[in-house]
C-alpha cells in the first residue's frame, strides 16, 4: 500500500523545482493534492501533471500572505475530498540582497511570504484537522540558511531561521490534537526544470559581493536534486512518523555537519 493512500495534502508554492516535485511525489504515494502558487499557470501546470500521472489534484492560485487564500485552499480540499491531512508550507521567493542593499519594504515582504504564509496556512489547515479529530501532519520547508550565517541574503536567511522556531512552537500548540509539525531542510539544489536551471545559472553568473561555491563545499559528490527530497517529506507526512513532532529532517549531502574549514572538493588551502 502506498504510504499516503487516502490522505489529502495542501502544498504551497508548487513551482517545478522543490514544491512541485514534492507535490507530485506525494501524489505518487497516494495523496490527493491542492496545489497553490501565486501564479495560476504554475499551480495549474502542477495539478495537470499530477492528474496526467493518474492521481487527483486541484489548483488554487493566490497570495499566501492573504488569509482568504489559505481559507480558500482548505475549503477546496474539504469540498472536493472532505478532509485535510497534510500541509507542506513551501512558498517562498528569492530576493538575494544584504542589509545595505535591501530596502525595508522588500525585507518585510520576504518575511511575510516565508513566515506570514506559514502562519496563515498552518492556522487554516490545523483548524480543519482539529475539527476532523483525525490529527494530521504539517511540514515546513526550511533551509540550511536557517542554521548558518549567509551574507547577502538577509531576508531569506532570517525568514527561514524564524520558521525553525515557528515549527517547534506550533508543534507544541497542536500536539494535544494529534497534529504533528516538523521541519524539512533542503540545501542548494540542482534544478531539473529548464526555467529553474536558467534562474540558477543567472544567479551564479551575476556579479555578487559574496561568492558562493556550493559544489566544492558539499561532502557528497553532487548537489541534491528536488527528487532527493521527496522521501523525507513523504515520511514526515505519513503515519510512519506518528510520534515525530517539533523536529527537523535535513537532506543536504552533509553540508551542515561538515567541519567549517574542510573543503571536500576543489583546491584546499594549507593549515
Active site positions, annotated: 143, 156, 160
**In the numeric block, which cell numbers belong to residue 47?**
495539478
Residue with grid cell 513566515, as numbered in its chain: 115
- d(CA 10, CA 46) in angstroms, rounded, equals 12
Q: Answer whether 237's CB lies under 8 Å from 139's CB.
A: yes
E strand or H helix that includes residue 248? strand 248-250
- d(CA 253, CA 21) in angstroms, rounded, equals 18
The number of residues making up the chain comes to: 271
Q: Answer whether 78's CB lies under 8 Å from 84's CB.
A: yes
- Using alpha carbons, list the distances in angstroms from residue 85 to 4, 21, 69, 138: 10, 19, 18, 8
Angle at 98 between CA 97 and CA 100, to 5 degrees: 115
Amino acid at each position: 500500500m502506498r504510504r499516503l493512500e487516502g490522505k489529502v495534502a495542501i502544498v504551497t508554492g508548487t513551482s517545478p523545482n522543490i514544491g512541485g516535485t514534492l507535490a507530485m511525489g506525494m501524489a505518487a504515494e497516494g495523496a490527493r493534492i491542492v496545489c497553490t502558487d501565486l501564479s495560476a499557470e504554475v499551480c495549474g501546470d502542477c495539478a495537470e501533471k499530477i492528474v496526467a500521472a493518474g492521481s487527483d489534484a486541484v489548483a488554487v492560485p493566490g497570495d499566501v500572505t492573504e488569509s482568504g487564500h489559505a481559507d480558500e485552499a482548505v475549503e477546496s480540499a474539504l469540498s472536493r475530498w472532505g478532509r485535510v491531512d497534510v500541509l507542506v508550507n513551501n512558498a517562498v521567493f528569492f530576493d538575494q540582497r544584504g542589509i545595505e542593499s535591501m530596502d525595508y519594504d522588500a525585507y518585510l515582504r520576504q518575511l511575510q511570504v516565508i513566515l506570514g504564509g506559514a502562519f496563515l496556512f498552518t492556522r487554516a489547515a490545523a483548524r480543519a484537522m482539529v475539527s476532523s479529530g483525525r490529527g494530521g501532519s504539517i511540514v515546513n520547508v526550511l533551509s540550511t540558511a536557517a542554521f548558518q550565517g549567509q551574507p547577502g541574503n538577509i531576508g531569506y536567511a532570517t525568514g527561514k531561521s524564524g520558521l525553525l522556531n515557528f515549527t517547534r512552537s506550533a508543534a507544541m500548540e497542536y500536539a494535544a490534537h494529534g497534529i504533528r509539525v516538523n521541519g524539512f531542510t533542503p540545501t542548494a539544489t540542482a534544478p531539473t526544470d529548464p526555467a529553474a536551471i536558467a534562474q540558477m545559472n543567472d544567479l551564479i553568473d551575476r556579479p555578487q559581493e559574496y561568492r558562493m561555491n556550493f559544489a566544492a563545499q558539499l561532502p557528497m559528490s553532487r548537489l541534491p536534486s528536488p527528487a532527493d527530497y521527496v522521501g523525507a517529506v513523504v515520511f514526515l507526512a505519513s503515519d510512519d512518523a506518528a510520534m515525530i513532532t517539533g523536529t527537523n529532517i535535513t537532506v543536504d549531502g552533509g553540508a551542515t555537519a561538515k567541519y567549517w574549514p574542510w573543503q571536500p572538493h576543489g583546491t584546499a588551502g594549507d593549515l
